[in-house]
Amino acid sequence: MPPLLEVDELFAGYGNIRVLNGVSLEIQSGSITALLGSNGAGKTTLLRTIVGLIKANRGRIQHEGQPIHELPPQQRVERGIVLVPEGRQLFSDFTVEENLKLGAFVPHARERMSTTLEEIYGFFPKLAERRRQAARTMSGGEQQMLALARGLMSRPRLLMLDEPSLGLAPVITAQLFEIIQQIRDNSVTVFIVEQNVRTTLQIADYTYVLDQGKVTLQGPGTALANEPRIRTAYLGM
């Protein structure tokens, strides 16, 4: 069985500025796969290229063994590849429920929107309590949960998270990571970019480290936690 997603020798960037320099990685179905790296390493660029917001200059992206690097973003979402971007990007004046419904824009998700909405409210009871509340009136942690839930409304096969804990208090971050594990346990594969390296390595089945647009280290999360370069660069040890 092929990986759920395979990236092979991917080059991409912005205009004449190359950011990705031959990235190759695999994401196995049912896993949490993490991508670590310093600011400017190319992490967000990789996520945006996978989902089709940036066109690859060279290389391949395959989903379940089928090439998708020429598909437009809409068709990649229809295949179940969904990005929850850094900064949440909610519609601040819309209610919680209006934001959630906007997540179910692809046909297969729209057909099951009512069912999915009830599932989301069961998974995120705080959102159910505040379904009529404007997103801008919620705390940062609640807004991040809403952004995560909106991504789930499209019924993804692969949920990609870009810096989900950014700006959150430690107690909220801990709750967030518990939810991410529960999402994986509910048959949604997770690909996470995250600066909270210590906790990410604890929950990741497999981890890649990106440096200057190339993968420089990879391995199971628990193994990389003991890698000297990781301990020095990211864990302050």
Residue 55 inside a domain? The answer is yes
CA 145 to centroid of chain Cα atoms: 13
pLDDT in tens, 10-31: 999 999 899 999 999 999 999 9
In angstroms, the CA 72 to CA 146 distance is: 26
**162 plus 220 within the same structural domain:** yes
Task: Answer yes or no: is 15 within a domain.
Answer: no
Dist. CA 43–CA 156, nearest whole Å? 20
Residue 95's CB is within 10 A of a number of other CB atoms, namely: 16
Distance CA 124, CA 71 (A): 33
**85 found inside a domain:** no
Does any domain span residue 128? yes
pLDDT band at 236 (very low <50, low <70, confident <90, very high): low
Do residues 160 and 141 both lie within one domain?
no
Q: Is the pLDDT of residue 147 over 50?
A: yes
Q: Are residues 190 and 231 in the same domain?
A: yes
Residue 34 lies in a domain: yes
Segments forming the whole domain that contains residue 202: 1-9+23-80+156-237
The angle at the Cα of 59, spanning 58 to 62, to the nearest 5 degrees, equals 140
Q: Is residue 17 part of a domain?
A: no
Domain's final residue, options 132, 154, 176: 154
Please give the tally of structural domains in the chain: 2
Q: Residue 5 belongs to what H/E stretch?
A: strand 5-14
State whether 237 and 162 are in the same domain.
yes
The pTM for the full model equals 0.92
Q: What is the mean pLDDT of the chain?
A: 93
Whether residues 214 and 101 share a domain: the answer is no
53 and 32 fall within a common domain: yes
Domain boundary among 154, 180, 206: 154
SS3 content of the chain, % helix, strand, coil (to 5): 40, 25, 35
Which residues, 6+ apart, have CB-to-CB distance to 42 below 8 Å?
19, 20, 21, 23, 210, 212, 213
**pLDDT tens sequence across 32-52:** 999 999 888 999 999 999 999
Does residue 181 sit within a domain? yes
Instruction: Tell me the two tokens of residue 161.
Output: 């998270």
d(CA 63, CA 216): 23
Q: Is residue 86 part of a domain?
A: no
- CATH number, domain with residue 225: 3.40.50.300
Q: Compute the distance between CA of residue 156 and CA of residue 136 in angstroms, rounded to an integer.
A: 25
Q: What is the DSSP letter of 83?
A: E
Any idea which residue has 């429920």 for tokens? 97
Domain boundary among 136, 154, 172: 154
Q: What confidence category does residue 174 fall into, taking pLDDT thresholds of 50, 70 and 90? A: very high
231 shares its domain with 130 = no
- Whether 235 has a pLDDT exceeding 80, the answer reads no
Residue 9: band (very low, low, confident or very high) from pLDDT cuts 50, 70, 90:
very high
Residues 162 and 147 in one domain: no
Does 236 lie in the same domain as 125? no
Query: What's the mean pLDDT in 73-102?
Result: 93
Q: Give yes or no: residues 129 and 160 share one domain.
A: no
227 and 167 share one domain = yes
